[in-house]
Chains A and B, each alone.
Chain A
Amino acid sequence: MQSDRLTRYAWMAVGPLALFLVWYAVHLAGLVTPKLLPSPVRTLQSVWTNAISGGLGPDFLRTLWRTLQAFGIAAAFGVPIGIVIGANEKLYRSIEFLIDFFRSTPATAMFPLFMIIFGLGDFSKIAVAAFAAWLVVLFNVAYGVMNARQTRILAAKVMGASRARIFKDVMFYECLPQTFVGLRTAVSLALVVIVVAEMFIGSDDGLGKRIIDSQITFDLPQLYGTILVSGILGYGLNLIFLGLEKWLVHWSGRA
């Protein structure tokens, strides 16, 4: 068992290591000018120095905090409204088009509108991201409720559960797996929108701001490094949500 696991981790490390080596080889061979492709070692050094004294930490935390705020708003409004919509088929039919339409509209196209409504401050960034993420949560929760196993609801009904009890004891758990799919997608989307907003809706800090600054000053090691850190943030959030899902929705995919 233990060695099986080690073997698995070892295999998982092969891809990233190979990428690192290819990157290094391309750099050493001078296939791409160092101006466009700094060495990976130089890039990691830049991440390190920026983390220690270059303000990367606060930028990272700002972006994380904005993302979590947007996500929090999306979840707080998305889950209850999604349950109501999912439980009411006529209501769902009547707004299905609107949800699909706005879900398909690029959130970035809303930036100017949200800037007019909410001003240039932090909140307009959070609001756009929250709006985009909210639709994803809403859709998934409603879908989860609509696809609740009828047999379980009938079983509760036969046992004498009231409508309220069926909601609390059965529906809520039935839509939980799909809700988590929505929450996970929503947090990723919120991060994307926040980073883009930090780049283009004037911002004083955040990873997006740092990326655009690196581009303007042509600090490519910092540019690559910040992209890498954004990736780590996105991957980390996804990992945390997967872990939460596995723990809270232990029956997902097994029943």
Chain B
Amino acid sequence: MTLAQRTPAEEAPAGASYPDLRWFPPGTHITVRGLKKAFDGNPVYVGFDIDLPKGKIVSVFGPNGCGKSTFINMVAGLLPIDAGQILFEGKTIAETRIGYVFQNYREALFPWLRAIDNIHYPLRLMGIGKAERERRIEELVAGFDLKFDLHRYPYQMSGGQQQTVSIMRSLVIEPEVLFLDEPFSALDYEMTLIMRDQLQKVLVARGVTTVLVSHDLEEAVYLADKVLMLTRRPSRIADYMDVDLPRPRDPSTLTDPRFIDLKARTLEVFQNAVRAS
């Protein structure tokens, strides 16, 4: 398809003979078309198309080095693309309010600011007054089940607490899209379980479109509404499966036969993707 053919139906000239003018399914938030990216001549994406649904959580999973992080960094506008188009309900990234949670929370938070001021920061950038900022943060805090003091500095907090602050900082601006790049990979398993449930609760309550990169298959399936499985480079879609397990999911979900079955299927796709190279 060329760009001209993607004109929405209602704007198409009368009598045009396009068979289907709707070029993405209803409920789509992010459309990626013809995405191309190479590093030093090594192609990572060679014409990649995908639709990401609105208000849902999509996990991106694949073999090591397949370009999972490259994918969300390009969608989030942190990494330039070589060719293609990424739109958010027709808008560009610059016109879209996004939140981004980095894997390395130590290097993402500002250690010279207290946790609470870290959360204030994006709102200050937006030029919002103090009273309104405090109102929004209070509302945000109410949705979290915090057991620590936000008036401490990040380096005085545990890893899980720091990443919670990171997540709060990215959510306080009420983003249209939230990106998380392996957010829990630096945490121990116990903390990961707690954080997953915390994140699920907040995201489902807010209904924010979420793209999550994970290197942990269990986590990818547990949190997601859809799992995007990628192949080795150059990355293609190995599978894009729905996870229709009921929410809220809790640790008992991990032993639910449907969850185990889904995880087995994704594992199989993953192993095929690894072998096919």
On A, residues with C-beta under 8 Å from B are: 149, 151-152, 154-155, 157-161, 165, 169-170, 173, 176, 250-251, 254-255
Contact = CB atoms under 8 A, between A and B. Distances in A.
B77 to A, nearest CB: 8
B107 A160 contact: no
Interface string B80-119: 0000000000000000001110101011111110000000
The residue in B78, B99, B111, B173 that gathers the most chain A C-beta atoms within 10 A of its C-beta is B111
A155 B110 CA distance: 9
Interface string B117-153: 0000110011000000000000000000000000001
B9 to A, nearest CB: 34
A255 B154 contact: yes
Contacts, number: 50
Contacts of A152: 107-108, 110
Contact of A255 (B76, B99, B126, B155): B155
B102 A155 contact: yes
B104 A160 contact: no
B125 A158 contact: no
Contacts of A165: 125
Contact of B112 (A157, A161, A251): A251
B108 A157 contact: no
Contacts of A173: 110, 112
- On chain B, which size bracket covers the interface? 20 to 34
A251 B153 contact: yes
A159 B173 contact: yes
A154 B112 contact: no
Given A158-B98, A158-B100, A255-B154, A170 B122 contact: no
A250 B78 CA distance: 30
Contacts of B126: 160
A160 B125 contact: yes
Contacts of B155: 251, 254-255
A155 B122 CA distance: 10
A220 B109 CA distance: 57
15 contacts: A151-B104, A151-B107, A152-B110, A155-B102, A158-B78, A158-B98, A158-B100, A159-B122, A159-B125, A159-B169, A159-B173, A169-B121, A250-B112, A251-B111, A251-B153
Given A160-B125, A160-B126, A161-B125, A255 B100 contact: no
The residue in A155, A161, A170 that gathers the most chain B C-beta atoms within 10 A of its C-beta is A155
